[in-house]
Amino acid sequence: MYRYKITFAYDGTNFSGFQIQPNKRTVEQTLKNAVNKIAKNPEPPLSVIGSGRTDAGVHALNQVAHFDCPYKLGNDSMRKALNSLLPLDIIVKKAELVSPDFHARFNAHSKHYRYRVDQSDFVNPFKRNYTAHFKYPVDVAKMQKAAQDLVGEHDFTSFVASGSQALSNVRTIYQADVHRDEANNEIVFDFVGNGFLYNQVRIMVAFLLEIGSNQRPVDDVIRVLDAKDRNQARMTAPASGLYLVSVDYGDQNNKTIDESESIK
């Protein structure tokens, strides 16, 4: 078997999230169908393992997954073969032959998520599936200041939705930034961390918007983190504004195998 790492993008609008669900269109099932066609429909079917799950309506610019294939194709041949079988709302940007011990989920060092909020007076029909909408004035400096209280290792119980299956709510955020994109009339939030809980980014964005619109004091992040109570962070921003920007694998980022090498 030959292990491939794929980096791919998708428009999450018409998917019921990444993870396979009965009778629903998902990113994982769509990729799995393509991979198994390339492998000539083996039994049992081949699996596709993603770096993590995204919810219905969430987008990805550079999601990562791996799969094992009984046939060895060149990297670009594999990319083209997959794209020829995939629908137009998914595109494989890169396919790489990797070591059999590479794991898209367990080897991930960090993930970068971005959230976009449109500030038009009314919902822009051409952005409604790709941004959230918040028309009220916000103080970006306040949100940026508050976001720094999220940086570091914390118990994020107050910022995780019910239904989470995580064994621990402790996560580390390495970077949290908020800026105004004047050209597109948007507020953009960026978070980089070692992992994120169910709806965590969307809850943090909603919380920061409350601070930016003077519904909360700028130092309220610390109080709510300490409370470890989801009821203290009430709102969840819509899925439409969320993007998985990239997944970082540290030293394993460059551990690909030359296509001419044999794999034992």
Q: Is residue 180 within 8 Å of 118, Cβ to Cβ?
A: no
Catalytic choice (55, 68, 190, 248): 55
Is the four-CA dihedral 76, 97, 48, 197 of positive or negative sign? Answer: negative
* 76 part of the active site: no
| Structure tokens belonging to residue 252 | 């394993």
Which amino acid would we find at residue 11?
A: D
Using CB atoms within 10 Å of the CB of residue 165, give its burial: 0 to 12 exposed, 13 to 18 middle, 19+ buried.
exposed
DSSP secondary structure string for all residues of 133-190: E--S---HHHHHHHHGGG-EEEE-GGG--TT---S--EEEEEEEEEEEEGGGTEEEEE
Catalytic residues: 55
